[in-house]
Amino acid sequence: MNNGLFRQLLRLLPFIGFITAAHANDIRPVLVDSSATYRLNGHIGYYEDTTLTAAPEDVLAHKQAGRLVPINGDEYVSLGYTDSYYWLVVDLENTLTEYVDLFLSIPSSSINLLELYRWNAKDSTLTFVSRTGDRLPFAERPWPVWEFLFPIRLEGNELSTWLFKVDKRGQNFIIKTQLGKREAILQQDISVYSAFSFYAGIFAFALLLNVLMYLSVGDRIHLYYALYICCSVTLVLDEVGLTKQWLFTDLGRLHDYVKSISGTLSCALLIQVMQLFTNQTAANSRLYHFTNYYKYLLWALGIAPFFALLFPIDIRVEKAIFYSSTVQGIVSMLVIMVCVIDRIRSGFIIGYYYLLALLPLMIGGVNYVLQVMGIVGEQLFKPNGVIVGFAAEVVILSFAFTLRYNFLKREKAQLKKENDRIRQQAVQQVFQAQEDERDRLAKDLHDDLGGTLSVIRLKVTDFQQKLNGMQPAEQESFNETINLITRACDDLREISHSLKPKFFLENGLIGTIRERISILNRASAVNFEFVYQYTQRRDHETELSIYRIVNELINNITKHSCATQATVQLVETAGMLIIIVEDNGVGFDDRETPDGIGLKNVYSRTQYLGGRCVIDTNKNGTTITIEIPLQDDGNQTN
């Protein structure tokens, strides 16, 4: 049964060929009248010159033989990559008796070389009209606009054939032809310039914003994104044919690679922006190293076309550059999408905004690549999928940058809070270890050394009663010895009490400081005054830290200040404890003394309690003010 069907199809092939040839011969001339524009459906055909040797006469012969392929001139003709020449042929017949000025247009963004020939049916003459293309200076264009415009004049009742030789080798063959009066054709360009002016405003604003943000905050993501905008705008300009008019009027052969260079570098920069936006590192992403290697590959591919300029045109090299720059566009979008999803799964929630920004660019980019490959015809978005997708990405990503800063700010605050907690815990452990060591030392001094000194003093005193016959000098020396032992016992008791204040839990902060100052007023040359307004007991750890601070400050006064008067004030205000310790001593150099152990302990304990310390010192005395925030813990009053 299958063989029978195959034989039937073979019998139909000649008939199909006849129908095709008849359709090719049915390419009718365009009837030119007073209309503004003309439809080219069914009036234009093309011939593919795979040998690159066809002359205009050969194309005319193919036309007469009906071997041209008809195309729909009002739609994009997308044939994908090409390494051939293409000839476009159209017949124009002026139905008017007077001449008509027209524009024969090919609104394509990029053509290597484009030549226009004219065959006049009246006298059977073939003439060369004009040549243009991206490899020629912009000033040599027949009409100075982004598209390829040829002004032509048809004499009255003229019938002529117009032939375009199109060289788009190494590119995608996407062609659209137009015919109309000059005003009508140029009017269409206004919409192109207006649309791009709108998008150019978005791009310029985003570029300026990111440059200013980089200069103000120094975040590298804005520098890379600004470079990305520059490369992408170059790609967009080239896509609509404006690079030749606005940026690079005479690049010659380099213009063949503007699109691939700018597109590849844009992808590399966008991956760099993605890594910075999502904070992708080797520690939080398994894809980090792969993404880096792929990014470096894109940098290499981006500059590779410059090396191609060192050698003669090789269609194999052109083909490799075309396909690599096309494929890497889709691959780059997939890499970015997978990396962002990976970071979202790791907890980077605002990665959803990056995906949202990437979505229109992916849709427009994929549509553009499919058109370049010849799979689809026109662009999904107008005027261009890349332009619309890029503009949407810029707007959404600019908003996402703001969210990123808020997210990073919260994350930084949480990290700081956690670091403060760990540091506070570490300081607390250090202080607890100090207190435990103080307890041990106080106990050892009191129980061991204190007991030993007491026994020595008793024995020496008992021995004194047995040596009443001493000489006066010996008796005086012996009494001095007893006094030194007594003083050592008192000093030992004082040191032990300083290490671990006796009955601190019972006396509390105020009672312990008051007892300490009472002892100093009896034993030291400084007269201390203690003033306080402290109505509520705090937790033991806080009060002990406050006592250590006050004790350190009054010890410094007795040892170093040479003062005669000193005042210690503790004033409790709303949520704050203010400690003021002042003396009338000789002061000190506050630029050097903070390196001392005493004031370091004061600073560290003040920071531990969340307070701040201010020192005002001169030759007339010193005032140290410490502010410590307090929380109402509901303990009993003093």
Judge if 140 and 215 occupy the same domain: no
Nearest to 382 by CA among 368, 401, 394: 368
Domain boundary among 412, 427, 461: 412
Q: How far apart are the first and last CA of the chain?
A: 111
462 occurs within a structural domain: no
Taking only Cα atoms into account, the Rg of the chain, rounded to an integer number of angstroms, comes to 46
> Is-contact 373 359, C-beta < 8 A?
no
> Is-contact 146 73, C-beta < 8 A?
no
Judge if 408 and 554 occupy the same domain: no
Judge if 163 and 249 occupy the same domain: no
Domain boundary among 132, 155, 180: 180
Strand 148-154 with 178-180, pairing:
unpaired
446 occurs within a structural domain: no
Judge if 258 and 318 occupy the same domain: yes
What sign results for the dihedral spanned by CA atoms 210, 216, 219, 224?
positive
pLDDT in tens, 126-162: 999 999 988 888 888 888 888 888 999 999 999 999 9
Judge if 121 and 206 occupy the same domain: no
pLDDT of residue 10: 39
Domain that holds residue 45: 26-180
* CATH number for the domain harbouring residue 590: 3.30.565.10
Instruction: Show Cβ contacts of residue 632 under 8 Å, excluding neighbours closer than 6 positions.
Output: 536, 575
Domain count, the chain: 3
* CATH number for the domain harbouring residue 143: 2.60.40.2380
Q: How far is CA 245 from CA 110, 321, 505, in A?
A: 12, 24, 87
pLDDT of residue 84: 92
Tell me how far apart the alpha carbons of residues 572 and 603 are, in angstroms, rounded to a whole number: 20
Judge if 256 and 348 occupy the same domain: yes
pLDDT of residue 100: 94
Judge if 302 and 357 occupy the same domain: yes
pLDDT of residue 443: 58
Instruction: Show Cβ contacts of residue 240 under 8 Å, excluding neighbours closer than 6 positions.
Output: 109, 146, 192, 196, 383, 384, 387
59 occurs within a structural domain: yes
pLDDT of residue 547: 84
Name residues of the chain where pLDDT drops below 70. 1-26, 72-76, 371-384, 420, 423-478, 487, 489-503, 505, 590-597, 632-638
Judge if 221 and 144 occupy the same domain: no
Neighbours of 188 (CB within 10 A): 15
The answer, yes or no, to whether the previous bond of 383 is cis (omega within 30 of 0) is: yes
265 occurs within a structural domain: yes
> Is-contact 565 620, C-beta < 8 A?
no
559 occurs within a structural domain: yes
Judge if 351 and 237 occupy the same domain: yes
